[in-house]
């Protein structure tokens, strides 16, 4: 193969958006994917993408602004996010939503989700989105190789000029005048890296793409990349402990009004904060055991076929149990009856007074919705764990997706986008921003690489 292909490493949302964008602009592209199947964590995802000012929102009568989306990112990230990355997201988010619609990615609903002050969780069907992006890329002539893990970068002095990948047991060197775009996802499936960077997450359920072992971060580090955000690694609260990649068993009743208690029958947190922060709090409870508890009023707010809110599905699967009284519920779950009754009674009276004296809960998600009392039988309970889904820490990049060295200088020929990049989320995570970020920065990376090539030709 000649040197005139942009090399993309990893075929999830970021890699495929980059491949479609670059090929539509006339570039030749080769995508190398480690697994037999494309999609990585994107394919397994809960399907929310964070966009504002969309036609979908307008149809539902939701008034929203890009500025408020950006402000939510910064507030949830506790202002530790890199502002330039948030601004780039803001600048390109609506165009990327419209671009995805043009690509025939089918958006289904728009939900209120964690961290957002407006309903902005635009849902996709991940298999439809990945399949469609793949088809569009291939229609543009993109070469996609599966079972082709990249194992090394090729360098010429400081510049990245290619990769070594494996195919049928052989190592093949592929060089490029375009540069290498790393979109190889995070390390939610690497026990080695999780033990090293996030030992506090040892008691989490492991989910995420089978190939997501931090290869992209290691490859970038081998070329001198600087890393960031590892101190902010968190799990995601809301999964039944029996969850697997095939059966994700997730319910966020707390964002519809449920409370969370520990095995002592006590609340321990404001349930409206990010599920990442809920995960931190849950992992500190005795034996890491926690339960969501809610009533019929909240159960009725379930949304069929939704990744977070399809409560009936988990009920039918026997993972959510119902009881006529709180006493029966506590007895069956092995929680102290008196304490749980007192917890709920205090919570209900606080809700009615409009002031959560224990933890300051004022909303259902970050700033959206009003809490309701838990008083209408039947009552429901779900044993709930924290899962490791995605890592959100990684290589340092600028807003154009150049990978940066420890001195903040771009490493020539190396770009990165998607989950393997740090700096975006800061100290907290907002739902839908990871898939959103993958699509937006995947497209930016494609344009940056093409632009760099053009400038090279002009020299
Ligand atoms: C259960 C679950 C639910 C989630 N829900 C949401 C949600 O609702 N909204 C949201 O925004 N985010 C969600 N996320 C997170 C989100 O899915 C990911 O962060 C995002 O999809 C990452 O996209 P990506 O393209 O960067 O990586 P991925 O989609 O993981 O793709 C990376 C690809 O690179 C490949 N790869 C790895 N190493 C190599 C190598 N050496 N050579 C070649 N290829 C390689 C992998 O096999 C993989 O296919 C969820 C994640 C999980 C697991």
CA dihedral 373, 377, 378, 384 (to 10 degrees): 20
Alpha carbons 128 and 134: distance in angstroms, whole number: 10
Alpha carbons 40 and 28: distance in angstroms, whole number: 23
- The DSSP 8-state label assigned to residue 336 in this structure reads -
CB 38 within 8 Å of CB 209: no
The reply to whether 61 and 112 lie within a common domain is yes
Of 373, 388, 403, the residue that ends a domain is 388
Alpha carbons 375 and 397: distance in angstroms, whole number: 50
Ligand 1 centroid vs 345 CA: distance in angstroms?
Answer: 42
Q: How many CB atoms lie within 10 A of CB 31?
A: 28
Give the chain's mean pLDDT: 95
The reply to whether 134 and 52 lie within a common domain is yes
Ligand 1 centroid vs 374 CA: distance in angstroms?
Answer: 37
CB 113 within 8 Å of CB 365: yes
Residue with CA closest to ligand 1 atom 1? 45
Ligand 1 centroid vs 232 CA: distance in angstroms?
Answer: 18
Which of 20, 43, 45 most suits a substitution to test ligand 1, by most atoms within 8 Å of the C-beta? 45
The reply to whether 162 and 250 lie within a common domain is no
The reply to whether 36 and 106 lie within a common domain is yes
* Paired tokens of 198: 């996030």
CATH number of the domain bearing residue 291: 3.90.700.10
Which of 33, 42, 307 most suits a substitution to test ligand 1, by most atoms within 8 Å of the C-beta? 42
Q: How many CB atoms lie within 10 A of CB 79?
A: 12
CB 371 within 8 Å of CB 419: no
Q: Please report the atom of ligand 1 found closest to the CA of residue 50.
A: 11
**How confident is the model at residue 317, as a pLDDT?**
96
**How confident is the model at residue 365, as a pLDDT?**
83
The reply to whether 227 and 260 lie within a common domain is no
* Paired tokens of 210: 């089978």
Q: Single out the residue of 291, 290, 295, 307 nearest to residue 256, CA to CA.
A: 295
Helix, strand, coil percentages, rounded to 5, for the chain = 35, 20, 45
Of 388, 421, 447, the residue that ends a domain is 388
Q: Which parts of the chain register pLDDT below 50?
A: none
Domain that holds residue 263: 236-388
Q: Single out the residue of 364, 383, 443 nearest to residue 181, CA to CA.
A: 443
Q: Single out the residue of 179, 206, 178 nearest to residue 192, CA to CA.
A: 206
**How confident is the model at residue 1, as a pLDDT?**
61
Ligand 1 centroid vs 211 CA: distance in angstroms?
Answer: 9
By the 10 Å C-beta count (0-12 exposed, 13-18 middle, 19+ buried), 341 is classed as middle
Which of 10, 21, 394, 443 most suits a substitution to test ligand 1, by most atoms within 8 Å of the C-beta? 10
Residue with CA closest to ligand 1 atom 51? 45
Of 354, 388, 422, the residue that ends a domain is 388
Q: Please report the atom of ligand 1 found closest to the CA of residue 209.
A: 30
Ligand 1 centroid vs 386 CA: distance in angstroms?
Answer: 18
Q: Dihedrals φ, ψ of 216, to 5°?
A: -60, -40
Pocket lining for ligand 1, CB < 6 angstroms: 9-15, 32-35, 39-42, 44-48, 149-150, 183-185, 207-209, 211-212, 215-216, 248, 389-390, 418-419, 431-436, 438
The reply to whether 426 and 293 lie within a common domain is no
Q: How many domains does the chain have?
A: 2
Q: What would the pLDDT profile of 248-293 be if each residue is shown by its tens digit?
A: 899 999 999 999 999 999 999 999 988 988 999 999 999 999 999 9
The reply to whether 244 and 369 lie within a common domain is yes
* Paired tokens of 249: 């068993």
The reply to whether 218 and 265 lie within a common domain is no
- The DSSP 8-state label assigned to residue 409 in this structure reads P
Q: Single out the residue of 6, 5, 12, 75 nearest to residue 417, CA to CA.
A: 12
Alpha carbons 43 and 125: distance in angstroms, whole number: 9
* Paired tokens of 121: 């969780």
The reply to whether 220 and 344 lie within a common domain is no
**How confident is the model at residue 351, as a pLDDT?**
97
Residue with CA closest to ligand 1 atom 35? 10
Ligand 1 centroid vs 32 CA: distance in angstroms?
Answer: 15
Which of 15, 17, 46, 150 most suits a substitution to test ligand 1, by most atoms within 8 Å of the C-beta? 46
CA 321-322-325 angle, to 5 degrees, is: 135
Cα dihedral sign for 224, 226, 230, 231?
positive
Determine the 3-state secondary structure of 127 from DSSP.
Answer: helix
Ligand 1 centroid vs 210 CA: distance in angstroms?
Answer: 10
Q: Single out the residue of 183, 235, 169 nearest to residue 38, CA to CA.
A: 183
Q: Single out the residue of 91, 370, 367, 401 nearest to residue 225, CA to CA.
A: 401
The reply to whether 373 and 266 lie within a common domain is yes
Q: Single out the residue of 88, 83, 41 nearest to residue 391, CA to CA.
A: 41
Residue with CA closest to ligand 1 atom 53? 208
Alpha carbons 208 and 206: distance in angstroms, whole number: 7
- The DSSP 8-state label assigned to residue 250 in this structure reads B
The reply to whether 93 and 183 lie within a common domain is yes
**How confident is the model at residue 392, as a pLDDT?**
87
What does the longest C-alpha to C-alpha distance in the chain come to? 77
CATH number of the domain bearing residue 149: 3.50.50.60
Residue with CA closest to ligand 1 atom 9? 432
Ligand 1 centroid vs 27 CA: distance in angstroms?
Answer: 24
The reply to whether 272 and 189 lie within a common domain is no
Q: Please report the atom of ligand 1 found closest to the CA of residue 37.
A: 49
**How confident is the model at residue 367, as a pLDDT?**
77
User: Which residues, in sequence order, are CB contacts of 451 under 8 Å at separation 6+?
Assistant: none
Ligand 1 centroid vs 361 CA: distance in angstroms?
Answer: 32
CB 296 within 8 Å of CB 378: yes
């Amino acid at each position: 193969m000649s040197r005139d292909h942009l090399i993309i490493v990893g075929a999830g949302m970021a890699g495929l958006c980059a491949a479609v964008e670059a090929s539509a602009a006339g570039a030749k592209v080769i995508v190398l994917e480690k697994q037999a199947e494309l999609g990585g964590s994107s394919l397994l995802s809960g399907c929310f993408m964070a966009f504002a000012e969309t036609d979908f929102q307008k149809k539902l009568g939701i008034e929203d602004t890009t500025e408020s989306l950006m402000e939510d990112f910064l507030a949830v990230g506790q202002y530790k996010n890199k502002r330039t990355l948030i601004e780039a997201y803001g600048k390109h988010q609506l165009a990327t939503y419209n671009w995805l619609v043009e690509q025939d990615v089918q958006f289904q609903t728009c939900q209120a989700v964690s961290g957002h002050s407006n309903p902005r969780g635009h849902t996709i069907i991940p298999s439809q989105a990945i399949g469609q992006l793949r088809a569009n890329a291939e229609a543009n002539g993109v070469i996609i190789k599966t079972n082709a893990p990249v194992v090394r970068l090729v360098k010429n002095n400081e510049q990245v000029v290619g990769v070594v990948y494996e195919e049928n047991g052989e190592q093949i060197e592929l060089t490029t005048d375009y540069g290498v775009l790393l979109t190889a996802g995070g390390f939610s499936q690497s026990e080695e890296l999780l033990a090293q960077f996030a030992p506090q997450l040892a008691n989490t359920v492991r989910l995420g793409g089978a190939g997501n072992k931090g290869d992209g971060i290691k490859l970038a580090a081998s070329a001198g990349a600087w890393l960031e955000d590892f101190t902010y690694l968190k799990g995601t609260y809301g999964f039944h402990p029996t969850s697997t990649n095939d059966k994700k068993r997730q319910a966020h009743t707390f964002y519809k009004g449920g409370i969370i208690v520990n095995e002592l029958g006590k609340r321990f947190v404001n349930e409206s904060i990010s599920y990442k922060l809920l995960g931190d709090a849950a992992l500190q409870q005795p034996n890491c055991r926690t339960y969501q508890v809610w009533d019929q009023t909240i159960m009725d707010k379930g949304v069929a076929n939704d990744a977070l809110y399809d409560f009936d599905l988990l009920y039918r699967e026997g993972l959510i149990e119902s009881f006529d009284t709180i006493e029966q519920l506590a007895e069956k779950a092995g929680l102290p009856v008196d304490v749980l009754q007192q917890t709920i009674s205090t919570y209900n009276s606080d809700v009615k007074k409009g002031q959560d004296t224990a933890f300051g809960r004022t909303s259902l998600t970050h700033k959206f919705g009003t809490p309701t009392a838990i008083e209408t039988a039947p009552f429901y309970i779900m044993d709930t764990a924290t899962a490791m889904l995605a890592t959100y820490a990684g290589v340092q990049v600028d807003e154009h997706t150049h990978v940066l060295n420890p001195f903040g200088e771009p490493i020539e020929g190396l770009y990165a986008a998607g989950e393997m990049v740090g700096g975006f989320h800061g100290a907290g995570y907002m739902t839908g921003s990871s898939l959103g970020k993958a699509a937006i920065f995947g497209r930016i990376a494609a344009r940056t690489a093409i632009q760099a090539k053009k400038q090279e030709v002009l020299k």
